[in-house]
Amino acid sequence: MEFNQNKRAISWAHLMPLALALSVAACGNGSGPATGGSSNGGGKTGTGPTAGKLLDTAVSGVGYAASSGAAANTDENGIFKYSHGDTVEFRLGGLALGKVKGAGIITPMELAGESANKLQNLLILLQSLDIDGNPDNGISIPPSAAAAVPASINLDSDPAAFAASAELQKAREAGGVSGAVKTADQARAHFLSQGIPMLSSNIWVKHDDTSASVIRISTSGGGEYLNGEATPDDSCDANRVCGGKLVSKAGVEYGVAGVSEFDTRGFKFVSKPVIDTNLQAGLSNPRPTVRVRTDGSDLINSDIVTVQREKKQASLFGELFHIAGTLEISSDKEPIKTEIKESRYSAMENEPKGIVGTWAADRTNIKTQTYFFFSNGKFMMVDPIGNPEHAENCGPGVEFASYTYDAGSKALSIKGFTYDTNGCAGFSETGASSFSLNPDGDTATLEKQDKSKISLYRVSK
């Protein structure tokens, strides 16, 4: 695995199609959206006490100390307590594993910083101290093993030397851990197996008043996914190199995804789309340098992109006649500068007793018509099916529009379609008339203007 040491530059300003980002709980009265407003990717900043999880699989027995004062060992579920805004230090005995900003999910990726060896050695250390030697059922580190880990262990050493170190073996013996130390390949393979389960922890969205991008990954662990893009046509790639051919457009993608490798920035996606109507705006065409991870609140996509050269200011004469600075050619000797850019998707908002959230026509099937009601008054339908009886004009696609909902009368109106790529299969032809929530808040009935009814299941949380 190669690890990049370039400075991370975080880009928040623009809503990028998913491929370019992957090449790159709301409260209310149930009456639907407030007027106006927007919600771009990136979770809301919380306040006060909260909790996170230390994961490879859940890791118990690791000491932690938060800057606000919380201190203990991670429990059997890997849970540690902290307050929003804290930094949290994790330790085993005399060894500091790392100090990071508190988050809902912390993994060895975050603890390693930008050190490839430290990431690999943290995986070897945690998995090799697991009392039963089987990290698939969780990692439980005995107190006696943790206490025996000395500060002298070098987490930045060569992984093969680290696995063979006397210090690691002594800690295992002190804790009564039997079996062999995990090899680098074994530790890496296990962590890879946790990639999709981590990334499927939420439904991920990035949206504003004019566009939206959504990702839903099956929680079964098989990697089945659904992606919808209600974003403008774009003929430019992630480096903003543009041509006459479309690179991405609004549409839907459905298929199976996995992770093939990882580094300190995250996991590398591989996917096999079965349906793909959005060109390169989905998971089917990630650039080789794209990595993705989650901190529990956000899905964080990062890519290594070319730094745009600063253009020299043109003369007034040149501006008038368009002859100054029209083309810049780099010297062959001039190094190409790159930077790491990050783009974030937030967990889908959800009103447990309201319409805001994600609803699906099938509770367990990912390949199903899925409906997103955002709190800013926007609606999105992601449709991987279309209408098979009228496939020529009603194929898979997306819809993006405005909606109003009155919880008292149950009246629902969807109008003002900005995007409609599934033809007659959605609500652009036959609008909605009512949305009736059942008392449990998890099921509902949506009635269309033609009196047909759709049973829906809440799939956001």
357, pLDDT greater than 80: yes
214, 204 in Cβ contact below 8 A?
yes
**Is residue 43 domain-resident?**
no
* pLDDT reported for residue 305: 86
175, 144 in Cβ contact below 8 A?
yes
* pLDDT reported for residue 423: 86
* pLDDT reported for residue 26: 32
Same domain, 64 and 177: yes
Task: State how many domains the chain has.
Answer: 3
The CATH number of whichever domain residue 389 belongs to comes to 2.40.128
10, pLDDT greater than 50: no
323, pLDDT greater than 80: no
**DSSP line for 76-132:** TT-EEEEETT-EEEEEETTEEEEEEE--SEE-HHHHTTT-HHHHHHHHHHHHHT-TT
**Is residue 5 domain-resident?**
no
Categorize the per-residue pLDDT at 7 as very low, low, confident or very high, splitting at 50, 70 and 90: very low
Same domain, 382 and 450: yes
**Is residue 34 domain-resident?**
no
Same domain, 216 and 342: yes
Same domain, 131 and 150: yes
Same domain, 104 and 181: yes
Residues 279/281/286/291 CA torsion (nearest 10 deg)? -170
Categorize the per-residue pLDDT at 112 as very low, low, confident or very high, splitting at 50, 70 and 90: very high
436, pLDDT greater than 90: yes
Same domain, 184 and 68: yes
- Lookup result for tokens 């403008």: 232
**Is residue 290 domain-resident?**
yes
- Lookup result for tokens 């808040």: 441
SS3 291: strand
384, 397 in Cβ contact below 8 A?
no
Categorize the per-residue pLDDT at 179 as very low, low, confident or very high, splitting at 50, 70 and 90: very high
* pLDDT reported for residue 11: 31
Kindly give the residue spans of alpha helices, DSSP state H, lying in 149-298: 159-163, 166-175, 184-193, 195-199
Same domain, 419 and 452: yes
State the pairing for strand pair 357-360/370-373: antiparallel
**Is residue 302 domain-resident?**
yes
Same domain, 189 and 70: yes
Categorize the per-residue pLDDT at 429 as very low, low, confident or very high, splitting at 50, 70 and 90: confident
* pLDDT reported for residue 38: 44
**Is residue 37 domain-resident?**
no
Taking Cα atoms as reference points, which of 373, 234, 391, 28 lies closest to residue 382?
A: 373
* pLDDT reported for residue 234: 83
**Is residue 352 domain-resident?**
no
Q: What angle do CA 180, 186, 190 make, to 5 degrees?
A: 120
Q: What is the pLDDT of residues 225-282, one digit of tens each?
A: 999 999 998 888 766 778 778 878 999 999 999 999 999 999 999 999 999 999 888 7
Categorize the per-residue pLDDT at 16 as very low, low, confident or very high, splitting at 50, 70 and 90: very low
**Is residue 41 domain-resident?**
no
* pLDDT reported for residue 389: 80
Q: Which residue did the predictor score with more confidence, 348 or 15?
A: 348
32, pLDDT greater than 60: no
Global pTM? 0.84
For 346, the enclosing helix (H) or strand (E) is strand 338-347
Structural domain harbouring 407: 357-458
Taking Cα atoms as reference points, which of 399, 373, 374 lies closest to residue 386?
A: 399
- How many CB atoms within 10 Å of residue 173? 13
Find the mean pLDDT for residues 341-353: 96
Same domain, 229 and 281: yes
246, 235 in Cβ contact below 8 A?
yes
